Structure 1
Amino acid sequence: MLKNNIMEIVKIILQVIVGLGILNVWLLRFNSKTSYRGGNAGNMKEEFQAYGLPEIMVYIVGFIKVALAIALLAGIWLEYLVDPAAIGLAVMMLGAIIMHLKINDPFSKNIPAIIVLLMCIAIYFL
């Protein structure tokens, strides 16, 4: 019983970290330069340009990631949302890793996507 409670607490903590982390990147830091942006991009739009993607993809990917992050957070109370949100965000993180690899970014730029991917996998299996 105690083990199950601890696992559930860890799962919720991961949901909060991932959900708020995604919302931070897409809503608060959208126009900010970070050391993890693809290529030499100074904001999200420039990052997608560096990947060779059309501008509309910024908004499509952003909408999907924000929706999945909200679903992951709502999953604290609505459990049926957790698995689809975790799987969806894991797929999105794989896409981010592929984009960084596509433009030969250094490994360090993949670290946030790898960490979020691993947390999403943990959420799914917890």
Structure 2
Amino acid sequence: MVARTAPQLTPPAELSVSPEEVPQPVPARQRTPVDTEAIVRAYFADIPVMIDIAYCESRFTHYLPSGSALRGHIVPTDIGVMQINEYYHGDAARRLGLDLHTLEDNLAYARYLYTRQGTQPWYPSEHCWRRTLAAGS
């Protein structure tokens, strides 16, 4: 029995694409606030007040230009787009398998908090977002 090898197929030159030409997704840490805002709006479409909270807490910013997660100006243990306090919530987030430094997990933990405590964890910024609650959202 003679072993056969598969023929090598080469695409025509007009179909060849160099690796530099292949579109790449935007890495999470290079997302702009506009990208982050779209993600937040989609994730919390069912809880509009959380969209307003994200705006009030971080202006829809999660990652700084350095690639690190946004920290609170007044309370440096607040982190990310939802400004979740790592001191109080870091261990619980880790037990749930969440990393508050990533946008997706920051949002997931915010939803977890909201289902248990409502908007209470974000009461310090209530003056900014309470209009949404008053409007019945």
TM-score w.r.t. length of structure 2: 0.29
Higher helix share: 1
- Higher alpha-carbon Rg: 2
TM-score w.r.t. length of structure 1: 0.31
Higher relative contact order (CA 8 A, sep 6+): 1
